[in-house]
Amino acid sequence: MKWLGLLGLVALSECLVTIPLMKVKSMRENLRENDILLDYLEKHPYRPTYKLLSGQQDPDVSFEPLRNYLDLAYIGIISIGTPPQEFKVVLDTGSADLWVPSIYCSSPACGKHNTFNPLLSSTFLVSGRPINIVYGSGRMSGFLAYDTVQIAGLVDVAQAFGLSLQEPGKFMEYAVFDGILGLSYPSLSFEGITPVFDNLWAQGLISQNLFAFYLSSKEERGSMLMLGGVDPSYYSGDLHWVPVSRPLYWQLAVDRISMNGEAIGCDSGCQGIVDTGTSLLIGPRDPVLNIQKIINAQHSHGGEYIIDCDTISTLPDIIFTIDGVDYPVPASAYIRKSSVHGCYSNFDESAAHESEPYEVWVLGDVFLRLYFTVFDRANNRIGLAPAV
């Protein structure tokens, strides 16, 4: 099974290890509105702020504030090395490894991002193991190293991470992040590498073996990653716990996808991957085309599906039923407005082959902005509740 997309990757090392990840195909809106995006970022430099809705920080929970870049990506700031060097990274539950650009990178993309200088870190160790990461819209090749990583005030020593030597392609050049920090299961990481979250737990830095995400909607600030605990003021009602069906991705069983009581996808049950690194709702070609037809989304020359903005007020919710509980996604969420190009469908087709043994959907940020999500490694389960 091989999927490639926005942040999806295939990792190859000395042993040519292949790691399949399912992601969106590209950050097309980012590139299409590039001039607007660059102007936006220049006027809004990153300044992390906490949104502790309870008014008091829980000492057992470590908070990492995230920046919402136009609902396209959620970025946190980490540091690597001694003294620390800062990087903007996607906190991605759809992958398991950490990488950032290096000063040795020769690509134009690295000239536009923060780069790590091993010569300035007294705790840096190099392994010499090569890494090649291939994306749907670009690639990163480099080498494996070890150093101290700091996130949410936690100090993770001797953490393995990748350093890029090449990042060809326009996608990486215009990406709003420097690198990626994966939060999926270790079985998805490079062979023999312990991911960041697993090291935080192993080193006794967090009190519970879990983390949680609150993703803001259309708000620059307020999004949060919580490590080692949960702040209940970020959601309403009770968390509904769903078992992980395959401990590789954060994957669960979905009962069906419906509108007005009628199944419009996943009618015989399917699998869902809960992925903070994917911006859209991704599914197999036929069910997605069916949904585009139902909501009257028209295929454009750019590859996306355009829809009349006026339909946002008339189209019904699309319901994802998971473990017997309905999770409505309103039209205001599954249709996105562009400041220049009108409105687009937030559904997209996956790159999975029709021969796959089961139907797989990716529940990306469109879904996660609506539902606070807890990723419980101790019990291999996912907790969902309406976000406040």
The partner residues of 68 in beta bridges, in order of sequence, read 74
Whether 255 sits among the annotated catalytic residues: the reply is no
Whether 308 sits among the annotated catalytic residues: the reply is no
Q: Which two tokens stand for residue 46?
A: 């990153």
The partner residues of 12 in beta bridges, in order of sequence, read 132
What 3-state DSSP class applies to 255?
A: coil
Amino acid at residue number 156: D
Residue whose C-alpha is closest to residue 162's, from 184, 190, 123, 185: 190
Query: Could you say which of 71, 92, 97, 376 is catalytic?
Result: 92
269: left (phi over 0), alpha (psi -120 to 50) or beta: left
Could you tell me how far CA 314 lies from the centroid of its own chain? 30
The partner residues of 108 in beta bridges, in order of sequence, read none
Query: Could you say which of 275, 348, 365, 376 is catalytic?
Result: 275
* Alpha-carbon distances, residue 162 vs 63, 127, 131, 153 (angstroms): 24, 10, 7, 21
Kind plus residue range of the DSSP H or E element containing 273: strand 270-274
Which amino acids are annotated catalytic? 92, 275
